[in-house]
Structures are given as structure tokens and as C-alpha cells.
């Protein structure tokens, strides 16, 4: 193979693969539906990206071209049809990642939330300690400004995505499972099948499996050594002793682990949820054999992940942004923000992601969002889906019980914020709400 062509190249997982193959010396190009900051970065790195369905732009030399696609792409997209019918070597994103990880020491982080920060912090620990790893991340690391790390050490840190059962392509030596919530029910049908998939993933781990205490995963589900972790539960194998935030919202604690106590850890990224994720990442690193002192130092220098409790302005008015798009993620993020900014008025902007997720979890979304002081609820971002009759943001809005709430089209958002008194503002969502981060940041800075 000389060429790698990616259909859906702007996705966070696909772009990491594009960067990997570019680093390996392949000619890399691809298609995505819309330009973004990420596709702009790829183009600056010498990767050709276009934004129209153009089957004629697939490389001519079929026998020398690997085509990678994401299941989020419509089955009838012209480029995908040509690749399928034209004799090209064709792989799903998840299968490609599985092939790259095969033959290396694979360290995987799975879970319906928390996996991006945990895998990014794990990769940071390995990099900062000098051990090194290659890493395929589901977000942009603030330490390295990328979602791909490469190393001579044949160890791969991979985010194990449960969407479309993608994580079943991985056979990790060490794995963490951060959460097993009902999600992607358009794929799984019900929670029972979600649990079955995670148990199948657990059965593929060979060395050590570290599960969040309370998840429906136990030692009977794996042939690997089994451990648990938790934020503060002393019944777990890894947990925080006396966690406490400083004036910046960053947590300090001692870490109890099977080898003893690692004292005086400070997590570089704010919020108790990052403290919990750091316990999971430390569990992987310590189990692998990285020195405890190196683990402590790396956790302290971790700057977080873009769009994961990312603080853009912290003054008289504060503005944060977070990728949360599932009720459990929203609840954790809101709790963490309340902890960082106690006693202040919290206004949240939320853009629901997918019609199916909104339909399946409208009541749970309403309950989670009722934890803010004011909600600005936007219309649904459809992503890969067609509209479902009767499904809209109103399904969530009607049951939200916070003191103030308003329902807006996203095009109305900036004009509304111009007149809105703000104290602490957070934007939530996995759709295109990230396009508003920069203008909201500028608006808030004017008031800071």
C-alpha cells in the first residue's frame, strides 16, 4: 500500500489515523462533510481534504490504496459505494486500529464516559516518564495539541469506543472500564446488550482489567487479573485518600494502590471528575510498571483535554466548555463545576446530540440539567441521523425544573447572550456547538 484514503477524515478517531499514516510515509487524503478546525490542521500538515462527495477523487491505483471509513458515514455515500464496489482494500476505523495495535502491548480505556480524559492522561504519564507510547486519542490533548502520539516503544494506548461495538477489535494487555451506562441504544437496543458488549470486551483482556467499582463487570468476566478503582471507596483496589480541591479547583489526594500509598498527588486539570480519571490512569501506569514518582509528576503536569471541563475564561465571569452529551456525563460535569465555583450562578448551554439519544433519555437529560441555575437549551444536532417525528428539544425542556430556562435555535444564541447577565457559563454538547466557543470566549472576556 502507498495511499491511505479516509472517508470521514475529520472525525476525532479518523484524524488520528490520518496523522499516523502520514507519519509512516503514506500519501494520505480524505473526505469530510464539513470543514472544521481539525480538518484545517490536517491540511496544514500536508493531508489533502475535500468536502464534496467526489468518488473520482479516490486514488486511481486501486491495488496500492487502503480506504478507511467510519460507520457514521451513510452507506449510500458515493465515495463509499465506489470503494466497496471498485475492489479497494476497505476497512472500518475500528478494524484499522485493531490491526495497528496487534503485535504491540495494547493499553485500552473503555467506558461510556471518562475514556478520553483517562486515555489522554495515561498517554501523558507514559510520555512524561520517558517510557513512551503511541496513542490514538478521542480528543485533543492540551499538553501536545494533538490526538496522536508516536514512540519507538511498541506500546499503544487506545481509546476503546463502544459505538458500533468498535472496541471488540482490540485485545488489550491492560484495560480500564470507566463506566457502563445505557447509551447508543440505536445500536444496542437495550442496556442488557450494552452490558453484554462490555463483558465481551473484558473477556479479550489478557493481563489486567481495572474496572470502576459499581460497574456490572466482575472477575468472572475476564481471564485477566481483576482490580477495581473508585474516587473515594476504600473497598476498591485503587482510590483517593482525603481528596480536596485547592483555590483553582484542582484536587490533591494520596492514592491507595495494591503496592502501598502514593502520597501528595495534585491533578493538573480541575474538577473531581479529573481526579477520578487520574486514579484510573495511574492504575494502568502502576500495573504496567511505571515508577510511582513518575506517575505523580505526570499527573501534576497534565493540562487536560480540549472540550473536557476546559476553562476558557476565569475572572469576574467564567466560561467553560465540555463535550458532555449523555445524562451521566452532564451530571458529573455539573457537579464538578459546582465544586470549582461554589455559590455562584451556573448558566448552561446544551445542544442535544442525536434524535435517538434525545428520545431514549429525555427524562434523564431533564433531571441532569435541572442541576443548573439557568438552562439555555438549543435544537438537536442530528449528526448521522434523519429527524424522528415528534422528537425535539422540547421533550427535554418541558421537564427541566431549574429556576430559569429558555429554548433557542442555535442561530439565536449569540444575540441572546449579549443581553444575558452571566456569572459562570458552560456550554455542553458533542455537535457543532464547538463553533461557538471562540465568539462566546470573546464576549465573556469583555465582561471579565
Mutual angle of helices 272-288 and 327-340, in 10-degree steps: 110
CATH (one of 2.60.40.10, 3.40.50.720, 2.20.25.240, 3.40.250.10) for 3-92: 3.40.50.720
CA-to-CA distance for 143 and 302, rounded, in angstroms? 7
Residue 421 is classified by DSSP as -
Q: Which fold has domain 102-301?
A: 3.40.1190
The tally of CA atoms less than 13 A away on the side-chain side of residue 18 is 31
In this predicted structure, what is the pLDDT of residue 448? 67
In this predicted structure, what is the pLDDT of residue 96? 96
Residue 380 is classified by DSSP as P
The alpha carbon of residue 160 and the mean position of all alpha carbons in its chain are separated, in whole angstroms, by: 10
Other beta carbons less than 10 A from residue 211's beta carbon = 30
In this predicted structure, what is the pLDDT of residue 184? 86
- For each successive 10 residues of the chain (448 residues), what is the average pLDDT? 96 96 97 93 97 97 97 92 96 95 96 95 98 96 96 95 92 97 89 97 98 97 98 95 93 97 96 96 98 98 94 93 94 94 96 96 98 98 91 97 97 96 96 94 90
Q: Please, what CATH class does the domain formed by 310-447 belong to?
A: alpha beta
CA-to-CA distance for 312 and 414, rounded, in angstroms? 17
Report domain extents, the chain: 3-92, 102-301, 310-447
- Quote the pTM value: 0.90
The tally of CA atoms less than 13 A away on the side-chain side of residue 328 is 10
Amino acid at each position: 500500500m502507498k495511499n491511505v484514503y479516509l472517508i470521514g477524515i475529520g472525525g476525532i478517531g479518523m484524524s488520528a489515523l490520518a496523522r499516523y499514516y502520514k507519519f509512516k510515509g503514506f500519501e494520505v487524503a480524505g473526505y469530510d462533510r464539513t470543514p472544521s478546525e481539525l480538518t484545517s490542521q490536517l491540511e496544514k500538515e500536508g493531508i489533502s481534504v475535500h468536502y464534496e462527495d467526489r468518488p473520482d477523487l479516490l486514488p486511481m491505483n486501486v491495488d496500492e490504496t487502503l480506504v478507511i471509513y467510519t460507520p457514521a458515514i451513510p452507506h449510500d455515500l458515493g465515495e463509499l459505494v465506489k470503494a466497496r464496489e471498485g475492489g479497494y482494500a476497505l476497512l472500518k476505523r475500528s478494524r484499522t486500529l485493531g490491526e495497528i495495535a496487534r503485535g504491540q502491548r495494547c493499553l485500552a480505556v473503555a467506558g461510556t464516559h471518562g475514556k478520553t480524559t483517562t486515555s489522554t492522561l495515561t498517554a501523558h504519564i507514559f510520555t512524561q516518564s520517558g517510557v513512551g507510547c503511541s496513542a490514538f486519542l478521542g480528543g485533543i490533548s492540551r499538553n501536545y495539541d494533538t490526538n496522536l502520539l508516536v514512540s519507538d516503544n511498541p506500546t499503544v494506548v487506545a481509546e476503546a469506543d463502544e459505538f458500533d461495538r468498535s472496541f471488540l477489535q482490540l485485545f488489550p494487555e491492560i484495560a480500564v472500564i470507566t463506566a457502563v451506562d445505557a447509551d447508543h441504544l440505536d445500536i444496542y437496543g437495550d442496556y442488557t446488550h450494552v452490558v453484554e458488549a462490555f463483558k465481551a470486551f473484558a473477556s479479550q483482556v489478557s493481563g489486567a482489567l481495572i474496572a470502576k467499582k459499581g460497574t456490572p463487570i466482575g472477575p468472572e468476566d475476564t481471564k485477566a487479573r481483576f482490580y477495581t478503582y473508585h474516587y473515594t471507596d476504600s473497598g476498591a483496589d485503587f482510590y483517593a485518600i482525603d481528596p480536596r480541591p485547592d483555590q483553582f479547583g484542582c484536587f490533591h489526594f494520596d492514592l491507595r494502590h495494591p503496592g502501598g500509598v502514593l502520597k501528595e498527588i495534585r491533578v493538573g486539570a480541575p474538577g473531581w471528575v479529573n481526579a477520578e480519571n487520574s486514579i484510573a490512569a495511574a492504575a494502568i501506569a502502576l500495573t504496567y510498571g511505571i515508577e510511582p514518582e513518575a506517575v505523580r509528576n505526570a499527573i501534576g503536569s497534565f493540562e487536560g483535554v480540549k472540550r473536557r471541563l476546559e476553562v476558557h475564561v476565569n475572572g469576574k465571569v467564567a466560561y467553560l466548555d465540555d463535550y458532555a452529551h449523555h445524562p451521566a456525563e452532564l451530571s458529573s460535569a455539573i457537579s464538578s463545576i459546582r465544586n470549582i465555583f461554589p455559590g455562584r450562578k451556573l448558566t448552561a448551554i446544551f445542544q442535544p446530540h442525536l434524535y435517538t439519544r434525545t428520545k431514549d433519555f429525555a427524562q434523564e437529560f431533564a433531571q441532569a440539567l435541572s442541576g443548573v441555575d439557568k438552562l439555555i437549551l438549543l435544537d438537536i444536532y442530528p449528526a448521522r441521523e434523519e429527524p424522528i417525528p415528534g422528537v425535539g428539544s422540547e421533550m427535554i425542556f418541558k421537564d427541566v425544573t431549574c429556576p430559569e430556562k429558555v429554548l433557542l435555535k442555535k442561530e439565536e444564541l449569540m444575540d441572546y447572550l449579549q443581553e444575558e447577565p452571566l456569572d459562570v457559563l458552560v456550554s455542553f454538547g458533542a455537535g457543532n456547538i464547538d463553533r461557538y466557543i471562540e465568539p462566546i470566549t470573546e464576549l465573556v472576556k469583555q465582561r471579565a
